Amino acid sequence: MGINCSIFISQRRIMKLSKKQVSAIKSYLRAVLASAIVLGIALLTDLAPQYAVIIGAVAAPLAKWADKNEAEFGIGSKE
């Protein structure tokens, strides 16, 4: 356990990400989260594809809105 942790810490020091890269990674992860939500709902409820698409269209912006660090819009925006 200690070896894996020290390897992770040393890799984190080597890998420095710019704000643009962090933003791109967060955007990708939000899209994955929205897709997983839609897939889970569609599989659990045997939902028609057109309804799953509508849920996906709503889930992605909601995931961005819920991010407190997002300055464009949502909980963390100044507007």
> Does residue 45 lie within any of the structural domains?
yes
Enter the pTM of the model: 0.59
d(CA 44, CA 36): 12
Give a yes or no: residue 58 inside a domain.
yes
Residue 4 lies in a domain: no
Residue 46 within any structural domain of the chain: yes
Residue 31 lies in a domain: yes
- Could you tell me if residue 10 is inside a domain? no
Render each residue's pLDDT in the chain as its tens digit; 79 residues. 445 544 445 555 556 888 888 888 888 888 888 888 888 888 888 888 888 888 888 888 887 788 777 777 767 666 6
**Total Cβ atoms within 10 A of residue 30:** 19
Tell me if 40 is assigned to some domain: yes
DSSP-derived 3-state class of residue 42: helix
State the pLDDT at residue 25: 86
- The total of structural domains in the chain comes to 1
Amino acid symbol at 45: T
Q: Which domain holds residue 71?
A: 17-79
